[in-house]
Amino acid sequence: MTIAPGKVLKIAVLGASGRLGRLIMAEIMRRPDMELVAGVVRHDSVMLGADLGELAETSLAGIETSVSMRDAADAADLVIDVSAPQASAAFARQITERGGPPFVCGVTGLGADDMAALEAAAQSVPVLYARNFSLGAAVMRWLTAEAARLMPAEQFDLEIVETHHRRKVDAPSGTALAIGEAAAQARGLELGTQAIFDRPRQGAARPVGAIGFSAIRGGGAIGEHSALFLGAFEELEVRHRANDRFIFARGAIEAGKWLTGQKPGFYGIEDVLGLN
């Protein structure tokens, strides 16, 4: 579905009561070429029935949060999902049945069945999945993959270090895993067999090709990721730091605008940037 020039893009947000959901809604409400038409929350959310503008800390929108994903899809040209894995999979099945609208999903922690639901939906509608909507983080992932391709595992060990605020529960972050997956693929390896998430005090020597992960949790850090290529005689570091959560909201919206002009398929931020 392509939005005609001059037409206002109607957007629904799943996970409207969350931190990122609120930022996305606020940015939509600031843009004259977009209209916020729905915000979906959990059935047990204390924000159920709240005005979307109140959640976004802008002027009142005259639209209340609801629990109906179906109503949100009916009202929207585009749905942006920053909710939870179970909700994402359920909505993906709905859009598979109804043939739309285009769907941007930024939910981390998805299992194999959840991803399968997204991929099934992509057979009939455009679907974009991203663990991180930051354009800079996407470029970092691409740069890390290029470095991994050019710097062989036999000569350069790879460590991925990430830092987030104390409230983030998943570790390592979805972005760190995506960086590791890109690097492993560039080296012709499988991350599942090469990743090291825990090192006991009395462990074995580091195997060639291993990709180590370290997660730091503390304070209010928004997010920082580093890929360290460690050789015997030189080292290379690729790093990205998020200084404001607004970058994630802006990235999600820009990805959604791009997605409305695409054919059915499964896309990522790299496609938006032309890196694939």
Render pLDDT for 9-51 as a digit per residue (tens, 0 to 9). 999 999 999 999 999 999 999 999 999 999 999 988 888 989 9
Bind-site residues for (S)-2,3,4,5-tetrahydrodipicolinate: 165, 174-175
pLDDT of residue 36: 95
pLDDT of residue 69: 87
Check which CATH number belongs to the domain holding 87 and give it. Answer: 3.40.50.720
Q: Give 176-181 contacts, CB < 8 A, sequence gap 24+.
A: 176/213, 176/215, 176/225, 177/131, 177/213, 178/131, 178/132, 178/141, 179/140, 179/141, 179/144, 179/225, 179/227, 180/211, 180/213
With respect to residue 3, please indicate whether it lies within any of the assigned structural domains: no
Cis, bond preceding 172 (omega within 30 deg of 0): yes
- Judge contact between 198 and 253, C-beta under 8 A: no
pLDDT of residue 110: 86
- Strand-pair category, 156-164 with 195-196: unpaired
Specify the 3-state DSSP secondary structure of 237. strand
One domain, residues 37 and 115: yes
CB neighbour list of residue 262: distance below 8 Å, 6 or more residues apart: 102, 126
Q: Give me the residues of the chain with pLDDT under 50, please.
A: none
Tell which residue, 224, 207, 230, has the closest CA to residue 159. 230
pLDDT of residue 5: 63
Tell which residue, 51, 121, 140, has the closest CA to residue 81. 121
Bind-site residues for NAD(+): 15-20, 106-108, 130-133
One domain, residues 50 and 36: yes
Residues with catalytic roles: 164, 168
Q: What are the residues facing 215 on neighbouring strands?
A: 162
One domain, residues 171 and 255: no
User: Domain range for residue 98?
Assistant: 9-133+245-273
One domain, residues 147 and 84: no
Number of folded domains in the chain? 2
With respect to residue 4, please indicate whether it lies within any of the assigned structural domains: no
Check which CATH number belongs to the domain holding 218 and give it. Answer: 3.30.360.10
Complete edge-to-edge strand list for the sheet that includes strand 235-241: 195-196, 211-217, 156-164, 224-231, 235-241
Rg (CA), the chain: 20
Hey, how many other C-beta atoms are within 10 angstroms of the C-beta on 47?
19
One domain, residues 250 and 125: yes
pLDDT of residue 99: 84
One domain, residues 259 and 204: no
pLDDT of residue 4: 60
Q: Which two tokens stand for residue 35?
A: 């209209």
Residue 137: exposure state from Cβ atoms within 10 A (0-12, 13-18, ≥19): buried
Distance, C-alpha 167 to centroid of its chain: 18
